[in-house]
Structure 1
Amino acid sequence: MRILVISDTHRKDENVEKILKKEGSFDRVFHLGDVEGSQKKLIRMAKCPVDMVAGNNDILGDLPKEKELELCDHHILLTHGHYYYVSLDTGMLGSDAGARGFDIVLYGHTHRPKIEERNGVILVNPGSVAYPRQEGRKPSYIIMRLEENGDTDFEIKYLEK
């Protein structure tokens, strides 16, 4: 299963279009918050199932705070991350996710791509498609691959400005 993981698009939908053109089709798209009203447009563009959660800027709408998924023998949590203070540290998120039985957590909010492991939980942040904050400040996203045998792969990718 090939999954596009994005976050913090902040209505910069043209960058999502660029990613979809560059990368081709996906089996699924995960949006980790701060879509800011572009939900329907994103679903039309993706042409595959889209799972979204609310970010701190998604004041209007009915997106869930978090979403739990079971895919390819993995217990996955989608969250924006601001409730876990991920801008300071991912320790709280990793501890909570481990206690709740997740093995993969996808989160956003920091606008910085990152892949790490804490307490046996893989924590993945795709950064921001709209307003990147990491060195070089290139819009970023992740391509996640899940195999039926449980194997996983996460690749941080960048758009040229």
Structure 2
Amino acid sequence: MKILIVSDTHKKNENYFKVLEMHHLDMVIHCGDAEGSEYALSAAAKCPVYIVLGNNDFFSDLPREITLDIGPYKVWVTHGHNYYVSMGNETIKKEAIDRGVDIVLYGHTHRPVIDIDDDIIAVNPGSLSYPRQEGRQPSYAIMEIDREEKVHFTIAYLR
């Protein structure tokens, strides 16, 4: 199973459409700040798309957060701004553990992160539109579940 994880596209969707063309996907997860592009993002993908509410998704009826069962994993998806992710990911990781999930996917910081601990996996795909990490390359994450049902994450960059 191959899942695209994106966040913070902020209605600038060209790079998202490029990434869709590059991969055969089973699912797309958007961690918020689509800014009214929900229909375009969903219509372009040839698979199920899940999008949560970000801090810039005004007047949207998107869910604030969702929990998905993906293979053997319980995955919590949230934008992250309500969990102080700009200060680090310790609060969101603690919340994820308290919720009994295996993986938390979040955005908001526009900086990619894969943080694997014994108790929790926290992944932020960064931003395809307005990256803030060193080098400022648009980024996204790929989540793959192999035949043994082990999960693997990769941060990928557009040049």
TM range (shorter): over 0.9
* Counterpart amino acid of residue 48 in structure 1: C
How many residue pairs align between the two structures? 159
Equivalent residue, structure 1, for 2:155: 156
Q: Which moved more, 1:57-66 or 1:116-125?
A: 116-125
Equivalent residue, structure 1, for 2:24: 25
Secondary structure at the counterpart of residue 87 of structure 1: helix
Distance 1:158 1:99 in 2: 32
Shift of residue 89 of structure 1?
A: 1.4
Equivalent residue, structure 2, for 1:42: 41
Equivalent residue, structure 2, for 1:144: 143
Distance 1:149 1:96 in 2: 28
Equivalent residue, structure 2, for 1:4: 4
Any idea what the Cα deviations from partners look like across 1:96-128, whole Å, max 9, x if unmatched? 110110110000000000001346110000000
Asked if the contact 1:142–1:157 (Cα under 8 Å) also holds between the matched residues in 2, the reply is: yes
Query: In the alignment, does 2:59 pair up with 1:56?
Result: no
Secondary structure at the counterpart of residue 87 of structure 2: coil
* Counterpart amino acid of residue 29 in structure 1: V
Secondary structure at the counterpart of residue 120 of structure 1: coil
- What are the ranges of 5 or more consecutive residues in structure 1 without an aligned counterpart? none
- What are the ranges of 5 or more consecutive residues in structure 2 without an aligned counterpart? none
Equivalent residue, structure 2, for 1:86: 85
Distance 1:82 1:114 in 2: 15
Distance 2:156 2:124 in 1: 12
Distance 1:25 1:158 in 2: 17
Distance 2:134 2:88 in 1: 18
Secondary structure at the counterpart of residue 143 of structure 1: strand
